[in-house]
Amino acid sequence: MSISNKITALYDRIPRRHTTDNVKDIYGIIEEYEDILIEIESINSFYEQNIGTYFDAATTAKAAIKKSTDNKASKKNKDSFFDEGSGILKESMQELLEFFGDGKRDL
């Protein structure tokens, strides 16, 4: 499976609603996304130098998802944090697909 197809498949798996199972799923998706980023980073120095922003987005998404598990947060806030995290992840994946292109960019 091509890298672009892997990203698209992950994107399609991002859950829409906050549930305990969906939180577990999205953490797994973020891990897989980070593995893909590492794979892209290893292609050449151009990708290595320009991939950091996508790792940052994954970290930000993970932090928002973590907030959605706070027992002290209301259901509305949990939903909001989950939506924020999944939105950041989706946006990052869309941007990565455009940035990566055919995987043949170079300095």
pLDDT at 107: 66
Measured distance CA(10)–CA(104) in Å, rounded: 21
pLDDT at 102: 79
What is the reported pTM? Answer: 0.93
Residues of the domain holding 59: 3-100
Q: How many domains does the chain have?
A: 1
Is residue 105 domain-resident? no
- The CATH number of residue 75's host domain is 1.20.120
Is residue 107 domain-resident? no
Measured distance CA(65)–CA(51) in Å, rounded: 22
pLDDT-derived band at 104 (thresholds 50, 70, 90) equals confident
For residue range 66-103, list pLDDT tens digits in order. 999 999 999 999 999 999 999 999 999 999 999 998 78
Taken in order 22, 24, 25, 31, the sign of the CA dihedral is positive
Measured distance CA(89)–CA(62) in Å, rounded: 9
